Copies of this chain bind each other. A is one copy, B any other.
């Protein structure tokens, strides 16, 4: 994997880059739609490519391991072929999900023993096993197995948790280096920087991951309940340490404003369920502000959903119709809102990139943040 840093915007740490993978190039900064179980909820694969203009999607190791299982994905020839996506994929390691969804039975140095949230069956995730599973899933970018430290952890807990994550990271790289890709294209392993909201831990964690000379680095354990200003502070602390010539991925973040603020601080990659999950609930992100489509004020607004939108759903459906669909729990409502939101997120990072290349990111960002926070 090759990362080319193309430009940095004056008066900002915002970067425009290009990431080459075995399934094509990714322009950064980039937002990655979340396809937890191999599908981005409510969006046909071809629409994700052609209409949303996604360049890379996320899959989840925890979910895919439990269902359909590694065997099925291997038989398909990897996740790219199984779901027909074909473009780059990143898999989360399951570190986050095993703690948030699984019923933890035992956390030791060896790994995590947990019960499936689907059928209660017992499973053991170790750093080695999670690498093996991700070899079988075959994503272009795979993630180290970590403990996602809770946002309200005290210093001692956060420190112990980080030390576990660091021991696991060594084992992840050992297993990664001892095994090969299964489908003829390369995979890159990204370590994850933890350390909760403690600058000293974050700095130490960033220096630790840096020593592995990885193809890219992730910042995890943020946007998990801590105040926003601490999230931004941690991003600054970590990015001051991480090498400038490798991509930086802020996991699970966030609102459009969160993303612009993190781009401003030198982050290149993002994922979040917000555009799809909030979309299913009727919240639309637009370049003019936030719309709660369930609001009575849209009942007889027969104008197009978003006059600035890049998706066909923005022009082919009205606000009043979308409101009716969402209120009536019609599937199509969730589909339209999810597709709109994802297309908007992709528009946002692409436009951020254009402004970085033009040297106008700062001015544009300030104006956008003002608008993005409005409730329409």
A: which residues have CB within 8 A of B? Answer: 37-47, 67-68, 71-72, 75-77, 81-84, 299-300, 302, 312-313, 316-318, 320-321, 323-325, 327-328, 330-336
Q: Tell me which of B38, B40, B321 contacts A84 (CB under 8 A).
A: B321
Query: How far does the alpha carbon of A325 sit from the alpha carbon of B84 in the complex, in Å?
Result: 13
Query: How far does the alpha carbon of A73 sit from the alpha carbon of B291 in the complex, in Å?
Result: 22
Query: How far does the alpha carbon of A46 sit from the alpha carbon of B336 in the complex, in Å?
Result: 12
CB pair A331–B75 under 8 Å, yes or no, is no
Query: How far does the alpha carbon of A195 sit from the alpha carbon of B68 in the complex, in Å?
Result: 50
| Cβ–Cβ < 8 Å partners of A302 in chain B | 75-77, 81-82
CB pair A324–B67 under 8 Å, yes or no, is yes
CB pair B317–A84 under 8 Å, yes or no, is yes
| Cβ–Cβ < 8 Å partners of A323 in chain B | 68
CB pair B39–A318 under 8 Å, yes or no, is no
Query: How far does the alpha carbon of A321 sit from the alpha carbon of B72 in the complex, in Å?
Result: 9
| Cβ–Cβ < 8 Å partners of A336 in chain B | 44
How many copies of this protein are present in the complex?
Answer: 2
CB pair A320–B67 under 8 Å, yes or no, is no
Interface of chain A, helix or strand or loop or mixed?
helix
| Cβ–Cβ < 8 Å partners of A321 in chain B | 38, 76, 82-84
Query: How far does the alpha carbon of A121 sit from the alpha carbon of B42 in the complex, in Å?
Result: 32
Query: How far does the alpha carbon of A47 sit from the alpha carbon of B67 in the complex, in Å?
Result: 29
| Cβ–Cβ < 8 Å partners of A39 in chain B | 325, 330-333
CB pair B324–A72 under 8 Å, yes or no, is yes
CB pair B41–A75 under 8 Å, yes or no, is no
A-B contact sample (6 more), CB < 8 A, given A41-B331, A68-B324, A72-B324: A39-B325, A44-B335, A68-B328, A72-B299, A84-B318, A335-B335
Query: How far does the alpha carbon of A67 sit from the alpha carbon of B321 in the complex, in Å?
Result: 11
19 A-B pairs, CB-CB below 8 angstroms?
A37-B330, A39-B325, A39-B332, A39-B333, A40-B332, A41-B330, A41-B332, A42-B331, A44-B313, A67-B328, A68-B299, A68-B320, A68-B328, A71-B300, A76-B302, A77-B302, A82-B321, A83-B321, A331-B335
Query: How far does the alpha carbon of A83 sit from the alpha carbon of B327 in the complex, in Å?
Result: 15
Q: Tell me which of B47, B82, B331 contacts A318 (CB under 8 A).
A: B82
CB pair A316–B76 under 8 Å, yes or no, is no
Q: Tell me which of B37, B77, B317 contacts A324 (CB under 8 A).
A: B37
List the B residue with the shortest CB-CB distance to A84.
B316
Shortest Cβ distance from residue A294 to the other chain B in the assembled complex, whole angstroms: 12
Question: Which 3 pairs from chain A and chain B are nearest by CB?
Answer: A68-B324, A39-B332, A42-B331
